[in-house]
Amino acid sequence: MSVRSPSRALRRIEALLVARREIVTWAAVAVSAFAGAALAVGGLTTHYGWWFLVPPLVLARLALNALDRSLGRAAGKRRSGT
């Protein structure tokens, strides 16, 4: 029975994501839009539960941004303005 190395599995995932880097970028855009919508709805209504969505969405956005930058370095590309 062989045991896979975690780094080997992560390299495969990284190679897949580098090939389709735009998925991570668009996921970050979608998370940002949801966070903005949660802020807007929370501010305009009396349903304060929307405010509880904002911190996890912001953390997800930060993580996706870091992942996008890491994938860009792995691919040897940089976005303009960064």
pLDDT tens-place string over residues 34-63 = 999 999 999 898 888 899 999 999 999 999
The answer to whether residues 60 and 38 touch, using CB atoms and an 8 Å cutoff, is no
pTM (two decimals): 0.71
d(CA 40, CA 65): 22
pLDDT band at 19 (very low <50, low <70, confident <90, very high): confident
Task: For the chain, give the mean pLDDT.
Answer: 83
The answer to whether residues 18 and 71 touch, using CB atoms and an 8 Å cutoff, is yes
Q: Half-sphere exposure (CA, 13 Å, Cβ side) for 24? A: 19
The answer to whether residues 35 and 58 touch, using CB atoms and an 8 Å cutoff, is yes
Strand extents, DSSP E, the chain: none
